Structure 1
Amino acid sequence: MDIQVQNFAITNLRRRPLVVETGGFVAGFTPDTDNPYLNYATPLPGVEPTERDVAALIGAFRERGLLPRLEFAPEAAPGVAPVLRAAGFGTEAVHEYLVCTPHTLMLPPSAESPYVENPTTGEEFADLDAALAEAFDGAFAPSAQGAARLRRTQRSGGAARFVRAPQGGVAGGASCSPPAEDTAELSGVGTRPAYRGRGIAAAVTAALTEAMFARGAGSVWLEYSGEGSRRVYERVGYRPQGTRLYLSLPRTRQP
């Protein structure tokens, strides 16, 4: 699964508005933001980069004023991390990823599950973006660009789903990338603090996963942020499969 997830990451980055490929790395950039989670690189499976390759990659980020940063499955490219660390890259995080297949998917009982909707209007996409910004405690600010990215994800073959708040707006939601390499990545599952504990995350996760299977994906994968969220995903049918490594180059260490 590590190779499949890594190949997916490459294909997904190549969908970005600006792509740079150098020395066995693929970097995907989003020009309307400097958010490091939307501007990063990943290696080709099995690549063994040189110091010169890493320097060229760093240059691609620095000339755009961005933090040099990578996300990848280390087992798919074991020769990469040592060379990056030698260049000064440090570990941001190591995340376990979980995978769901059509055979493991467990849909919540409809009588007990919140009603999940598909955003269709500009207002709904904006409300979803705002809800996710609040759910992730201000890690990113709600914006017209964020709402537009959610809309593009859906238009390009991915999906977004949300649960409406009782007083209007969005209580929680998520999005899923378009399938590639027979898999898809479900990301950004978030619920506003006032509505947590009501089964929203599980309902949205199940709905998005089911939608990707209906579009022919053989699996869907995601990363979790804590044991609480892991339990939610496991109830839906997600199972541990591997790890993903996040590395970045601190500004004080840039050559």
Structure 2
Amino acid sequence: MRTDVQRFTVAHLLRRPAACEVGGFVVGFDPSTTSPYVNYATPFPGAEPTDRDIAGLIAAFRERGLRPRLEFAPDAALAVEPALRRAGFGTEALHEYLVCTPATLVAQGAGPGSADPVDVAAPATDADYTAIDTALAEAFGGQWAPSPEGAARLRRTEEGGGAVRFVRAEDGGCAGGALCSALAEGTAELAGVGTLPAYRGRGIAAAVTAALAGTLFGRGAASVWLEYSGEGSRRVYERVGFRPGGTRLYVSLDG
């Protein structure tokens, strides 16, 4: 059983501006957004919450006008899922996560059909952050709208110990990019890997993923982990050196 990813999630949420602990859980509230994908809870490894603990957790969300929601590795806290089910929490998703270590990382060369290596860069200007936010919003099918707040969150990631990397488009904007959290508990989460449709198939996702993992390994991370959205993306990450690590459960309470 791996607990590093769950311990990371706890430490990561404790960084949030209004994080709090409730009955064996940490809740990572961020007053700058009402997004359920930012405002969520996770249990401490080995937590054994009572029904009263779960009620207190729900109340912490309700009093802020937010939907109660959790993300966690169920095998790191076996008593949590049954307690949440008793309270009516339903499954949003169950995702497998993959883990890369310095020993498994595979350096990326030229993209398909090209003799030149994919040029991965770190953002340096406000325009870069805006371009990355805009490109990732489009790459993920408009699941969120690009915004100054989104660009600011990317900047905070880069300046707060994490990393943001991207590949420039011909017009100077962003063809594709991703981000990685700051290191916590020996590991870091790589997320938001996206490429504009016109630039897919050029090795951008693999190059950005490898660059981010290498950056965090250079800062002392023992591993970097991520979740994938389909078999196509899984194959990309496996080429970079990511291997199966476990599962993470997403649950929420409606009404």
Q: Normalized against structure 1, the TM-score is what?
A: 0.96
- Given candidates 224, 236, 243, the residue that maps to 2:240 is 236
Q: Give the deviation of 1:140 after TM superposition.
A: 1.2
| RMSD over aligned Cα atoms | 1.0
- CA deviation string 1:132-182 (max 9, x = no partner): 111111111111111111111111111000001112210110000001111
Question: What corresponds to 1:50 in structure 2?
Answer: 50
Question: What corresponds to 2:179 in structure 1?
Answer: 175
- Given candidates 210, 213, 217, the residue that maps to 1:209 is 213
Percent identity over paired residues? 67
Q: Secondary structure at the match of 1:29?
A: coil
**2:77 equivalent to 1:77:** yes
How far apart are the structure 2 equivalents of 1:84 and 1:244?
Answer: 15
- CA deviation string 1:207-236 (max 9, x = no partner): 000000000101000000000000000000
> What letter corresponds to residue 211 of structure 1 in structure 2?
T
- CA deviation string 1:39-71 (max 9, x = no partner): 100001111101110111111111111110000
Question: What corresponds to 1:12 in structure 2?
Answer: 12
Q: Secondary structure at the match of 2:66?
A: coil
Q: Secondary structure at the match of 1:38?
A: coil
Q: Give the deviation of 1:113 after TM superposition.
A: 3.4
Mapping of 1:81-230 within 5 angstroms?
A: 81-110=81-110, 111-230=115-234
Q: Is the 8 A contact 1:20 1:60 kept in 2?
A: no
Q: Is the 8 A contact 1:73 1:243 kept in 2?
A: yes
> What letter corresponds to residue 149 of structure 1 in structure 2?
R
How far apart are the structure 2 equivalents of 1:77 and 1:4?
Answer: 12
**2:246 equivalent to 1:249:** no
How far apart are the structure 2 equivalents of 1:22 and 1:223?
Answer: 27
How far apart are the structure 2 equivalents of 1:9 and 1:112?
Answer: 37
Q: Give the deviation of 1:193 after TM superposition.
A: 1.3
How far apart are the structure 1 equivalents of 2:88 and 2:68?
Answer: 11
Q: Is the 8 A contact 2:186 2:223 kept in 1?
A: yes
How far apart are the structure 1 equivalents of 2:37 and 2:209?
Answer: 21
| 5+ long unaligned stretches in structure 1 | none
How far apart are the structure 2 equivalents of 1:38 and 1:194?
Answer: 29
How far apart are the structure 1 equivalents of 2:32 and 2:72?
Answer: 23
How far apart are the structure 1 equivalents of 2:194 and 2:72?
Answer: 23
Larger mean Cα displacement after TM superposition, 105-114 or 204-213: 105-114
Larger mean Cα displacement after TM superposition, 105-114 or 138-147: 105-114
Question: What corresponds to 1:67 in structure 2?
Answer: 67
Larger mean Cα displacement after TM superposition, 76-85 or 105-114: 105-114
Q: Is the 8 A contact 1:96 1:242 kept in 2?
A: yes
Q: Secondary structure at the match of 2:45?
A: coil
| 5+ long unaligned stretches in structure 2 | none
> What letter corresponds to residue 203 of structure 2 in structure 1?
G
Q: Is the 8 A contact 2:106 2:239 kept in 1?
A: yes
> What letter corresponds to residue 109 of structure 1 in structure 2?
G
How far apart are the structure 1 equivalents of 2:72 and 2:118?
Answer: 34
- CA deviation string 1:168-209 (max 9, x = no partner): 210110000001111110011011112111111000000000
How far apart are the structure 1 equivalents of 2:234 and 2:38?
Answer: 23
Q: Is the 8 A contact 1:113 1:199 kept in 2?
A: no
How far apart are the structure 1 equivalents of 2:2 and 2:74?
Answer: 8
> What letter corresponds to residue 17 of structure 1 in structure 2?
P
Q: Secondary structure at the match of 2:123?
A: coil
How far apart are the structure 1 equivalents of 2:142 and 2:54?
Answer: 32
> What letter corresponds to residue 34 of structure 2 in structure 1?
D
